[in-house]
Structure 1
């Protein structure tokens, strides 16, 4: 995985689980040929030049052609009945109304090409209009045909780890006291309401990673770097415990707006802090009860318990942690990347909408889009201290 905004690298797709995208997009396997191609001999004279007897008009370049029957396999799975077509076009109409799209008139074509063409056209429009849209599917269930639409926020194989040690240092600077308190309010919102995990909680993924590194350090023979690592561990624990108490204080939310209004923008840092605080407060006011896990779902269909257990859950890559500098941080990120290699799927914000005539969820991924943008900005800002 990569760090949000400032750090990049690591975390390749695990090869052992070919059925999922895991963290990076999967690559289709190339099958070997049954026999070796004999090839053909090179003609030293080259190809014979061929041209038409007259100039050919290029008007055909401006014409549009019907798409290939890309959805034929899916559509052919449906019975060729009047009811199937009727259900399909009723569902298509609901999709178009929900997303405010004008569907292509395809009823004039024969079955099943009419449905395949309608699906292709709807996909093209959804790609260009709906942010985070991923896929539309044709489903047959209980003798009824309908469409489903999937929307997913792509986290981009990023580790959204919010450092607290830089914020602790910032609180000690008198000149930056207002900046620090505003960022403290932002962190309180993320911790108390958005429910972002904290690395000093024993049930947290990063807590285990820190403890494992600490055990390895104690088991190894001392060298010149050992005192430095031990100092970083002590700092990560001591400051982490104290910052958790500060961040958990509800007064940070009570005085959030006041701190934002009080901050005077005298330089770029002040302006960046103010913009970040403004967006966090706006998110809090518009989504006062939403948390980061509200739409979490694996990036592939989970068919059984093993599939769910083989997923990188969001608390693995969204969390508070110590800091983004130093040898301990490098060891931690390497350990995290190695651990996440063992999983075949990743949880991401996901919404499934069924257009079968039942009530359609008005839920969208606006909250997630704004939240992860906020996290990137906060992480980048704190990592610069």
Structure 2
């Protein structure tokens, strides 16, 4: 787990099962627990101690064990016909060619084990070569049988919230103005091109949360604490509007390359800012029209789930600009987010589905997402760590 995740990028617990689990603390990522398996107790009768010869101790490591047949529902549903097998191997061949994999020869095995074995082999091989590989399934409609693969960017149940209060402070820090202008170009790219939601936009998820907390504070009894809370909310609103005006100005994109070329690094913080800006500019030039939602899954991708809209944590809920990731207001927002997300059963992440049914295969990949989420991580770390006195 990296430093950025520990401190500024909140983490919420979530599983892809229908039943939600308890909320994890903000610090840290979710770790799956190992499942206990029930073993059979050995019988004391008729057992004789046997010791292998020392020269064959490692022989078992050279063996390859085929999987035990646990027929998946998709395989069970297939009718055991010659056409089903022909369709499967045609589809498997196209999938193997697409991912550059040499499939295992399984045609000599009986049905349906040959299909299950072919899928097991392909799953293991593609998983080793494609960092975004998630799963694939066997589909059978009224006409044919074919494979559908799914590539997914794993967000790690992370809240990608970019704090803008540190950027505001940086703009008023004489020693860091050149850093601030460079990061303004980065954030303008994220605002205009990558389409990251901004918390002062009324249609954004965080705008609604800020308004909710504002109403709660207004309804509280007058105390010194509520006055501090009101001031923090007003500050978040005022700074948010001020910085959004600057981000909205596309001059930051026009001057992006010039600011990069003229930037002079004096210390570690400068070099980190420059590297983040370089990565952002590379994405800007290589993917000039790509948004972070370009591969967001659509509800129709799961036609069997009528409750998708009500159950899904959509991407705009955990990716956004935010006022700050420190202080009472953020902690309160974070608690509300964790409580809400714990009620959902589906996490929406960038996903590409590819059907190997004889039609043209989707050629897209998640390279943009891999690089953009890494950029968000680095940028959030930079802004969280910033102090007016520098690093």
TM-score when normalising by structure 2: 0.87
Give the whole-Å Cα distance in 2 for the aligned partners of 1:213 and 1:279.
Answer: 35
Give the whole-Å Cα distance in 1 for the aligned partners of 2:6 and 2:378.
Answer: 7
Give the whole-Å Cα distance in 1 for the aligned partners of 2:22 and 2:366.
Answer: 21
Distance 1:342 1:77, change over 3 A: closer
Shift of 1:144: 0.4
Residue equivalent to 2:96: 96
Give the whole-Å Cα distance in 2 for the aligned partners of 1:73 and 1:28.
Answer: 24
Give the whole-Å Cα distance in 2 for the aligned partners of 1:290 and 1:133.
Answer: 21
Alignment of 1:362-373 (within 5 A): 362-373=363-374
Alignment of 1:309-324 (within 5 A): 309-324=310-325
Shift of 1:114: 1.7
Distance 1:159 1:10, change over 3 A: closer
Give the whole-Å Cα distance in 2 for the aligned partners of 1:255 and 1:243.
Answer: 17
Alignment of 1:1-385 (within 5 A): 4=5, 6-7=7-8, 11-13=12-14, 17-18=18-19, 50-52=48-50, 55=53, 57-58=56-57, 59-71=59-71, 73-297=73-297, 301=302, 303-385=304-386
Q: Secondary structure at the match of 2:350?
A: strand
Unaligned ranges ≥5, structure 1: 31-39
Shift of 1:6: 2.3
Shift of 1:191: 0.5
Shift of 1:172: 1.0
Shift of 1:48: 9.2
Give the whole-Å Cα distance in 2 for the aligned partners of 1:76 and 1:339.
Answer: 37
Shift of 1:301: 3.3
Distance 1:133 1:16, change over 3 A: closer
> How many correspondences in the alignment?
373
1:27-57 deviation digits (Å, cap 9, x = unpaired)? 8999xxxxxxxxx9xx9xx999832387484
Give the whole-Å Cα distance in 1 for the aligned partners of 2:129 and 2:15.
Answer: 33
Residue equivalent to 2:389: none
Distance 1:48 1:116, change over 3 A: closer
Report if aligned partners of 1:298, 1:345 keep a CA contact under 8 Å in 2: no
Report if aligned partners of 2:197, 2:204 keep a CA contact under 8 Å in 1: yes
Moved more, 2-11 or 333-342: 2-11
Report if aligned partners of 1:298, 1:311 keep a CA contact under 8 Å in 2: no
Coordinate RMSD, CA, aligned: 3.2
Give the whole-Å Cα distance in 2 for the aligned partners of 1:350 and 1:15.
Answer: 14
Q: Secondary structure at the match of 1:293?
A: coil
Give the whole-Å Cα distance in 1 for the aligned partners of 2:283 and 2:208.
Answer: 31
Moved more, 291-300 or 258-267: 291-300
Give the whole-Å Cα distance in 1 for the aligned partners of 2:46 and 2:321.
Answer: 68
Shift of 1:83: 1.2
Unaligned ranges ≥5, structure 2: 25-29, 387-391
1:44-75 deviation digits (Å, cap 9, x = unpaired)? xx999832387484434422122211346532
Give the whole-Å Cα distance in 2 for the aligned partners of 1:115 and 1:16.
Answer: 26
TM-score when normalising by structure 1: 0.88
Report if aligned partners of 1:75, 1:115 keep a CA contact under 8 Å in 2: yes
Shift of 1:304: 4.9
Distance 1:379 1:302, change over 3 A: farther
Residue equivalent to 1:37: none
Give the whole-Å Cα distance in 2 for the aligned partners of 1:244 and 1:225.
Answer: 28
Residue equivalent to 2:27: none
Report if aligned partners of 1:137, 1:149 keep a CA contact under 8 Å in 2: yes
Report if aligned partners of 2:133, 2:150 keep a CA contact under 8 Å in 1: yes
Q: Secondary structure at the match of 2:98?
A: helix
